[in-house]
Chain A
Amino acid sequence: MEQSSIPGAQSTATEKVIAFLDDRVGLKQMQAKMLNEPVPGGSRWAYVFGSVLLFLFLMQALTGILLMFYYVPTADHAYASTQYIIHEVDYGWFLLGYHFWGSSAMAVCVIAHMSQVFLWGAYKKPRELLWIVGLALFGIVIGFGFTGYLLPWDQRAYWATTVGVEILDKTPVLGDFMARFLKGGPTPGQMTLSRFFVIHVMILPAALMGLAGLHLFLFRVAGPAGPFRGTSDEIKAKTDYFFPRQIWKDIVGMAAVFATICALAFWEPVVLLEEATPDPGDYHPEPEWYFLFYFQLLRLKIFSGEFGQLLGAVALPVAFMVLLVALPFIDKDPERNIFKRPIALVSWIVVMVTMLLFTVAAVINREFLD
């Protein structure tokens, strides 16, 4: 057994505890494996998104658990308990605000992480499985946003879910079953709330933990892809271990995201609309802001009518996801430099501009509805 680092000196209590654990679980070997990962080309700010996403998930889990101490997932009490959290519970408004804006931050960071992997060409051989598991994690993050949106049980939550489930209903073969399964009845009610709650706090976190573990494992097996530019000598000269520089950058990234979410929670605290009812009144249903571009896209005339709805609500997103899954197998060119992959660069710009354009268009569209 390893004694104190200084020969002859007495071991401190901490050293004894560490030695005890090291004997049984191989703590030092684990630490060396985790921290001494070489990062080709050295640490970069562009690599922080994965760690930031992990941090965001942990914070969402923590704030979610704290909110669950007060939240009641029944149609009769969900709204009142959320109001209670906002107005009566100490720091409840901040916890809810953090949880709310944290979900938006997760969506933004997932897009940023996927963009970085895409632009760096890091989905190419031998990282195909890593990319596919990443896409599944992206789906889970979207699922978190969709199921969590209903829980406050106000008009916004109720009608956003109604619209979302109706879109799902358009899927051929499985659509009707999925919509009925999620709603648990002809209109959203207690069964819907229960099912969304269970999916949000049990199924999705378990799936995310499992897939995130697999994602990390695959990452360690394949190793970091490194920069797409620079000679091998330059990359070798800059190569560094994961600890301390990349870890420092990751910590700074996490702190920046934490501070941004806090600032947003102060600036735009969560305010509920009226309690959910089956009558929308003057309220114009719309989903969470990161789904707005798609909602606005479906308003185009091309996506009206039976065929148009099927095209917009099902064919388009399914085709896009299939294309993303198949990407590493279609694009087999080993070239990773994005400036030498014009189709990839233009496609990414088109997708991003479309998302931005239709999100802003959806905001402008509100004036026409009012």
Chain B
Amino acid sequence: MADERESLSPVKIGLGVLWPVCWTGLPIKLVFAVLILAMGMAQFEGRLGIAFLMLLTSPVTVFAVPTITMGLESHLGEGVGIPLLFLISIPIDIWAFGVVGRTFFLENLRKEPPDGLGLTLWWKSALAGALFLPMLWFTVSTVTETAISTSRSLVEMESLRHVFGTGLPVAERISIELALWGTVASVVLIALLLIGVSLIGWIIRGTAEAAQPATENYQRLITRWDLMRVPADQGLMLTAVTGAGVVLSLLFWAVLPVTTTHPHECCKKPDVKAQPMFKPLDTLNKNEQQIAQMTAQLAMLEQQKAEAESEKDKGKRKAQTGKDAASSAVKKP
């Protein structure tokens, strides 16, 4: 058992801490994110906005996301709410790292958690994230772009055209292209993510090496980390949580716009347009009018053509008469 604990891989250690830390901090961060959105203090761009909300789950992105947006000149969105969310996330992540870290040290590593564990793990992880994540972002973007263009060229190859007779149908072509570049991009992303997680694992292992071993048996350790999560005054805790819930709910309804919100200038979405409404009678009348107009135009054109031809005929006849007269004059000297 002790050997098993010693041989825990950095990936397992990293995942064992990062995953619960994300889920411990996320609900609290989301409450603030919703309030900030309701107040109109933050407007997000489409894809980057989604990426941001997803990365909000992670404590290692607090410095990495600003670095990525500045370094790669990407526009995340606008509003004071965005830096505010980053600031709010810091104490939440430190607290989440503390709760999860102490549990992990006792249950999985059987070590006494040192004082200030949350803060230590947070700053080290945030720093590692700030250095590693921009590199990951850049590598995955480059690999994905290359994979997309390569898969497109592969599918357009002449030899494949012969295999499929008239060429690949659209649905099959999209699926094959997507499967090709998606696999490459996913493999690179997963490999880099595992490296990143193992980096955090090394950091946690390094912190654990300096810690004292926990001597109690398993049952006592479970009881210890279990009791760590129970507040000293449960009544006070329940009252505080209920009070905070009521205040936040009231605040939410107070700041919620009564009518539909209009997107900020920076982040306008493309207008969705459909065909104008189909009105059968109007369309029929319009078509009939058009047919009548075109028939009249056709008749006029035919008349003009006939007139032009008759003019030509007249001209030809006149010329012929002239020629005939001239030749008869020559014959009669």
Interface residues of A (CB under 8 A from B): 45, 86-87, 90-91, 93-94, 154-155, 233-234, 237-238, 240, 245, 252-253, 255-256, 259-260, 262-263, 266-269, 271, 273-275, 277-283, 296, 299-301, 357-358, 360-361, 364-365, 368
| Contact (A364, B53) CB under 8 Å given A263-B34, A267-B37, A277-B278 | no
Partner of A269, one of B20, B30, B260: B260
Interface members, chain B 17-75 (any A CB < 8 Å):
20, 23, 26-27, 30-31, 33-34, 37-38, 44, 49, 53
Question: A281 to B278, Cβ gap below 8 A?
Answer: yes
Question: A273 to B222, Cβ gap below 8 A?
Answer: no
Contacts of B260 in A (CB 8 A): 86-87, 93, 269
Contacts of B30 in A (CB 8 A): 255-256, 259-260, 263
Tell me the smallest distance from the CB of B157 to a CB of chain A, in Å.
19
Tell me the smallest distance from the CB of B70 to a CB of chain A, in Å.
23
Q: Is B285 an interface residue (CB 8 A)?
A: no
Tell me the smallest distance from the CB of B168 to a CB of chain A, in Å.
9
B: number of interface residues (CB 8 Å): 41
| Contact (A301, B169) CB under 8 Å given A93-B260, A252-B27, A357-B179 | yes
Contacts of A278 in B (CB 8 A): 278
Question: A263 to B53, Cβ gap below 8 A?
Answer: yes
Q: Is B284 an interface residue (CB 8 A)?
A: no
Given A273-B274, A360-B182, 10 extra CB contacts under 8 A: A94-B256, A233-B218, A256-B26, A263-B37, A267-B49, A277-B277, A300-B172, A301-B172, A357-B179, A368-B170
Tell me the smallest distance from the CB of B8 to a CB of chain A, in Å.
15
CA distance A279 to B38 in the complex (A): 38
Question: A259 to B34, Cβ gap below 8 A?
Answer: yes
Q: Is B261 an interface residue (CB 8 A)?
A: yes
Interface members, chain B 206-244 (any A CB < 8 Å):
218-219, 222, 226, 229
Q: Is B328 an interface residue (CB 8 A)?
A: no
Question: A237 to B218, Cβ gap below 8 A?
Answer: yes
Q: Is B333 an interface residue (CB 8 A)?
A: no
Question: Mind listing 21 A-B residue pairs with CB under 8 Å?
Answer: A94-B256, A155-B275, A237-B218, A237-B219, A252-B27, A255-B31, A256-B27, A259-B27, A259-B34, A268-B269, A274-B274, A275-B277, A279-B275, A281-B276, A283-B274, A283-B275, A299-B170, A357-B179, A357-B182, A360-B178, A365-B171
Question: B33 to A259, Cβ gap below 8 A?
Answer: yes
CA distance A7 to B276 in the complex (A): 77
Contacts of B276 in A (CB 8 A): 274, 281
Q: Is B175 an interface residue (CB 8 A)?
A: yes
Question: A364 to B171, Cβ gap below 8 A?
Answer: no
CA distance A299 to B171 in the complex (A): 6
Q: Is B174 an interface residue (CB 8 A)?
A: yes
CA distance A256 to B261 in the complex (A): 23
